[in-house]
Amino acid sequence: KENLVPGYPSVREKEHLQETFGCHVGKEAAQQILQQENSLVGKESEISVMFVDVRNFTDHSSKHTPQEVVAALNVFFTKAVEIIEDHDGMVNKFLGDGFMALFGIGDDQGNHAARAVDAGLAMLECLKGACDELEQAGWCDFRIGIGLNTGPAIIGSIGSPKRQEYTAIGDTVNVAARVEALTKSLGHYFIITEATRKHLPEEMPLVPLPPQKVKGKTYHLKVFAFAASVLDESEVGEPAS
């Protein structure tokens, strides 16, 4: 029944608010935030963090209208969000021409590294099938880079009492961002860290890359790319810087 008490939202209004809220922060994030009762709290959990970045964004933006750029991005983001959520992940935030996704958030914590890998491979495969849609949107050579890392992070609502954001912070997140940046210089679409590799089946065909120096680390980071038997990069073009 409708709530008829003056000053209080009706059941229908509450449902609409939650649905709209979920569209802006993600359904899983909305659920976690509501469970926290709007308090500034965070807890440490082991998760897998993925960063995705669109290649040649600056160059493409300089040659197309903002409307055309947004139209193409929305084609990709629509497909990407569906894939991430189908693999029990959460797109935590959009970063202009990319996004950060979290795996291992919520009740189902198991096997998040493998699910994140499957999601990344599914996104690359999806781009092959979305060529016509992206070409119609004016971006026929649409490419992405994906970086993935696994480890502990602080997850929860962070900010001030007046303005909060549900997100993950910590070294695991920072390294994931650095690894995504390596896809440009190393010439691979999808790179994972050794920390993620340890959570995957031994038989998964991964190629060790030369250890990389990344910002904020005193040691060289061990990273891996997928073998051609898993990811046929010849079908999706060469990674662009």
CA pair distance 86, 235, nearest whole angstrom? 24
Which pLDDT score is estimated for 202?
92
User: What pLDDT, on a 0 to 100 scale, did the predictor assign at position 6?
Assistant: 52
Q: Is the full-model pTM beyond 0.85?
A: no
- CA angle 174–82–61, rounded 5-degree value: 65
pLDDT > 70? residue 13 = no
| Chain CA centroid to CA 161, Å | 26
The answer to whether the beta carbons of residues 157 and 24 sit under 8 Å apart is no
Q: What is the pLDDT of residues 86-135, one digit of tens each?
A: 999 999 999 989 999 999 987 656 799 999 999 999 999 999 888 888 88
Whether 151 shows a pLDDT value over 80: the answer reads yes
154-198 pLDDT tens trace: 988 877 777 777 889 999 999 999 999 999 999 999 999 999 999
Percent of the chain with pLDDT over 70: 76
> What share of the chain has pLDDT > 90, as a percent?
55
- The string of DSSP letters for the chain reads ----STTS--HHHHHHHHHHHHHHH-HHHHHHHHHHTT---EEEEEEEEEEEEETTHHHHHHHS-HHHHHHHHHHHHHHHHHHHHHTTEEEEEE-SSEEEEEES-SS--TTHHHHHHHHHHHHHHHHHHTHHHHHHTT-TT--EEEEEEEEEEEEEEEE-SSSEEEEEESHHHHHHHHHHHHHHHHT-SEEEEHHHHTTS-TTS-EEEPPPEE-TT-SSEEPEEEE-TTT--GGGT-PPP-
Mean pLDDT, range 208-229, rounded to an integer: 90
| pLDDT-derived band at 79, boundaries 50, 70, 90 | very high
* pLDDT reported for residue 192: 98
Q: What is the pLDDT of residue 22?
A: 46
**pLDDT above 70 for 43:** yes
- Single-letter amino acid, residue 23: C
Helices 66-86 and 112-129: angle between axes, nearest 10 degrees? 140
Mean pLDDT over the full length of the chain: 82
CA distance linking residue 222 with residue 153, whole number of Å? 20
Confidence of residue 11 (pLDDT cuts 50, 70, 90): low
